[in-house]
Amino acid sequence: MDDVLGRGPIGRWRTARGTATVLVGDEVIFAPDGTGLLRIHSVAFGGETLGFRWRMLGRAHLRIEPVDAGEDAVSLHLELRPHETDTGPQTVLAEAGNDGFWLLLDPLERIGDA
79 CB-near residues (< 8 Å, 6+ apart): 5, 60, 93, 94, 95, 96
Distance in Å from the first CA to the final CA of the chain: 14
Cα(5)–Cα(8) distance, rounded to whole angstroms? 6
Looking at residue 67, what is its pLDDT? 94
pTM to 2 decimal places:
0.88
Full residue range of the structural domain in which residue 37 is found? 4-106
Number of domains in the chain: 1
DSSP-derived secondary structure for 66-92: ESSSSPPPEEEEEEEEEEEETTEEEEE
Residue 112 maps to a domain:
no
Phi and psi angles of residue 43, each rounded to the nearest 5 degrees, phi first: -60, -40
Whichever domain contains 89, its CATH number is 2.40.128
Looking at residue 80, what is its pLDDT? 96
Residue 113 maps to a domain:
no
Residue 92 maps to a domain:
yes
Residue 111 maps to a domain:
no
List average pLDDT for each run of 10 residues in the chain, which is 114 residues long.
90 82 80 96 80 97 90 94 87 94 93 90
CA 9 to chain centroid, in Å, comes to: 8
Cα(58)–Cα(104) distance, rounded to whole angstroms? 22
Looking at residue 95, what is its pLDDT? 96
Q: How would you class 30 by CB atoms within 10 Å of its CB: exposed for 0-12, middle for 13-18, buried for 19 or more?
A: buried
Half-sphere exposure at residue 35, Cβ-oriented, CA atoms within 13 angstroms: 6
